[in-house]
Amino acid sequence: MNFFKTKIVKATCVIALSIGIRDTAGQANGKPVYISGVYPHLAVFNDKNTTGCGDISGSFDPKSDGFEGGIGAIVPWANQLWMVTYSPHCPLGSSDKLYSISNDLQITTHPESIGGTPANRMIHKESNQLITSSYFIDSKGKVRVIPFSKMPGRMTANARHLTDPANKVYFYDMEGMLYEVNVYDLSVNKLFNKPVPGWHGKGAYTSQGLLVVANNGEIAAHKTEPGDIKAGSLKPANSEEMGVLASWDGHDWKIVERKQFTDVTGPGGIYGAPDNQSPLWSIGWDRRSVILKLLDDGEWYTYRLPKATHTYDHRGGWYTEWPRIREVGNGRMLMDMHGMFYDFPKTFSKKNSAGIKPVSTHLRYIPDFCEWNGKLVLSTDETTMLENPMAGRSQSNLWFGQFSDLKEWGAPNAWGGPWVNDSVKANTVSDPFLVNGTEQKMLHLIHNGKEPVTFTIETDAKGNNEWKLYKTVRVGANGYNYHVLPQNFSANWIRFKTDKNCVASAYLYFNGKPHAAAAAPMFAALADAADKGGIQCRSHSPGRAQY
């Protein structure tokens, strides 16, 4: 007991010492204070209940401005790192700001700030401008802004224009509005109010003659007018329909898939597709797994990846705040989806699908990330008032580290499959499912047929779409069987088919190698999970004890 108290006192002394040597500029011994990847002086805040926030109709929402404080986008530009913060429901502006950070980590709040709920970012090559929120920032750091009176909305994505990419860009809003904007005179033209179903817009990107947009929710934000919806039905046909992935060729809208999707991007990243033949990727999910959609040579393909958590599964899409696929330096791309970081190959296509590999797991909002000055930088949505009024004030910050640091985060444990109680037709292959990158893999097979069913398992070892027989597994009537994939099992993708029509499940569990990380000395006073000792206590009077 005394040992425990002594330890806590020592830890408190260390904290007090650290505070004592930090000045008002966030300096310690002449350098910015740096704790576990975070510079405390770069923390950003917003304010509660200002009159500039509300919905499109202009009504004030008291749980909007300042009740959440995320960093929606970060981009290296004009020799600085630029970022925008957001409040949750502010299409007409808020107390949030546009910031830039210099190479010596000095932060500037820009007076042109209009706030809102932005997470869009794009670099327009022809005009040499960074576009984020409603700001247009030139190569010298000069900021221009489109006021919310001209372009209201919660801007979630930008995309290159289909017919005039040198002069115009698209803005996609979380409620479904689509604008085109002239990058030189900032003139605005509203194209659609809500052309496709689904809500909580997230991604937009242009390639192969299509603008592709993604919504990741199914809870309505406002009423739609007759004629707004240009493809599909606003009302879901069944419980599986949530969100949408949709495309527009400049004339007609089409539904690609009625599921929950987030980012839409390609190998060109925030610069846009390098040419009109470049692959396009989108990430989403359903009850089975993470979904990776590929548009390649005008055709759509579906791949599936394991989930690391169900925390982000909400029907409204509210807990998947802008997961991304983005370049993070040296040509390497990083994907963040459903609590898992994946090493993502910039070459991903139908002919070359190899290289996607789980890195680590996490439980946090990471709206954006990038490489800056040799560091991997993650933005966060850290402390919110929405469900935690004890926080007092919403805030967020950036995390600075290296790609290799991610390997010391949570072990890449995950699960999922192509079938979960699904009606399966005989001799019809499932979607490919990722099996690359984890040490332990276990497959579960089940069906409801009145006769035995044989499951055929095929693998694509090299990611070149050449499939070979791996194994057949016989499952008895209304039965279950399992298969442990051996330690020397090596493949990128696995898929399944049955020899009979049935309702079947093919589901896998993955255990990654735990990351060896020594606990900091300050935690030595805390009990370990394997400790067997009890807690000492001493009674001073009946019914009372001192610990």
Q: What is the pLDDT of residues 310-321, one digit of tens each?
A: 999 999 999 999
Give tens-digit pLDDT for 490-507: 999 999 999 999 999 999
With bands split at pLDDT 50, 70 and 90, how would you rate the model's confidence at 401? very high
pLDDT (0 to 100) of residue 16 = 30
Q: Which two tokens stand for residue 59?
A: 């009504």
Residues 289 and 435 in one domain: no
Does residue 547 lie in a domain region? no
Measure the CA–CA gap between 109 and 381, rounded to whole angstroms: 19
Does residue 532 lie in a domain region? no
Distances (CA, A) of 355 to 352, 371, 493: 9, 20, 10
Buried b (16+ CB within 10 A) or exposed e, 55-74: beeeeeeeebbbbbbbbbbb
What range does the domain containing 2 cover? 1-33
Containing 3, the helix (H) or strand (E) segment is helix 2-20
| pLDDT-above-70 percentage for the chain | 89
Residues 323 and 424 in one domain: no
pLDDT (0 to 100) of residue 146 = 98
Distances (CA, A) of 198 to 194, 229, 259, 377: 9, 10, 9, 31
Residues 383 and 480 in one domain: no
Residues 440 and 403 in one domain: no
pLDDT (0 to 100) of residue 236 = 96
Measure the CA–CA gap between 309 and 458, rounded to whole angstroms: 26
Residues 354 and 442 in one domain: no
Measure the CA–CA gap between 23 and 73, rounded to whole angstroms: 29
Residues 247 and 221 in one domain: yes
Does residue 527 lie in a domain region? no
- pTM to 2 decimal places: 0.89
Q: Which of 408, 431, 447 is the last residue of a domain?
A: 408
Measure the CA–CA gap between 157 and 178, rounded to whole angstroms: 10
Buried b (16+ CB within 10 A) or exposed e, 387-415: eeeeeeebbbbbbbeebeebbebbbbbbb
Residues 2 and 53 in one domain: no
Measure the CA–CA gap between 211 and 235, rounded to whole angstroms: 23
Q: Which two tokens stand for residue 135?
A: 């700001």
CA angle, residues 496, 499, 500, in degrees to nearest 5: 115
Q: Which of 408, 435, 450 is the last residue of a domain?
A: 408
Residues 26 and 155 in one domain: no
Q: Is the pLDDT of residue 531 over 90?
A: no
pLDDT (0 to 100) of residue 157 = 98
Q: Is 295 helix (H, G, I), strand (E, B) or coil?
A: strand
Residues 245 and 337 in one domain: yes
Q: Which two tokens stand for residue 311?
A: 């925390």
- Report the residue count for the chain: 547
Q: Which of 358, 390, 408 is the last residue of a domain?
A: 408
Distances (CA, A) of 151 to 71, 93, 133, 146, 176: 21, 11, 11, 7, 13
Q: Which two tokens stand for residue 316?
A: 């409204």
Give tens-digit pLDDT for 38-52: 999 999 999 876 555
With bands split at pLDDT 50, 70 and 90, how would you rate the model's confidence at 520? confident
pLDDT (0 to 100) of residue 386 = 76
Per the prediction, the chain carries an average pLDDT of: 90
Give the sign of the dihedral formed by CA 302, CA 317, CA 286, CA 358: positive
Measure the CA–CA gap between 107 and 162, rounded to whole angstroms: 36
Does residue 55 lie in a domain region? yes
With beta carbons less than 8 A apart as the criterion, state whether 244 and 194 touch: no
Q: What is the CA 178 to chain-centroid distance, rounded?
A: 22
Measure the CA–CA gap between 430 and 303, rounded to whole angstroms: 10
Residues 172 and 240 in one domain: yes
Q: What is the CA 410 to chain-centroid distance, rounded?
A: 17
| pLDDT-above-90 percentage for the chain | 78
Measure the CA–CA gap between 215 and 364, rounded to whole angstroms: 21
For the chain, what is the domain count?
Answer: 3
Residue type, 218: E
Q: Where are the beta strands (DSSP E) in 351-412?
A: 357-361, 369-372, 375-379, 395-396, 398-401
CATH number of the domain residue 438 falls in: 2.60.290.11
Residue 238 CB contacts under 8 Å (≥ 6 apart), including other chains: none
Q: What is the mean pLDDT of residues 391-416?
A: 94
Measure the CA–CA gap between 544 and 530, rounded to whole angstroms: 29
Does residue 271 lie in a domain region? yes
With bands split at pLDDT 50, 70 and 90, how would you rate the model's confidence at 26? low
Pick from 115, 26, 109: nearest CA to 65: 115
Measure the CA–CA gap between 24 and 376, rounded to whole angstroms: 26
Measure the CA–CA gap between 88 and 20, rounded to whole angstroms: 36
Residue 143 CB contacts under 8 Å (≥ 6 apart), including other chains: 98, 110, 112, 135, 136, 137
Does residue 528 lie in a domain region? no
Residue 367 CB contacts under 8 Å (≥ 6 apart), including other chains: 70, 71, 72, 73, 119, 321, 322, 324, 379, 380, 381
Does residue 542 lie in a domain region? no
Give tens-digit pLDDT for 322-369: 999 999 988 899 999 999 999 999 999 999 999 999 999 998 999 999
Residues 163 and 53 in one domain: yes
Residues 23 and 160 in one domain: no
Measure the CA–CA gap between 316 and 322, rounded to whole angstroms: 14
Does residue 517 lie in a domain region? no
With bands split at pLDDT 50, 70 and 90, how would you rate the model's confidence at 383? confident
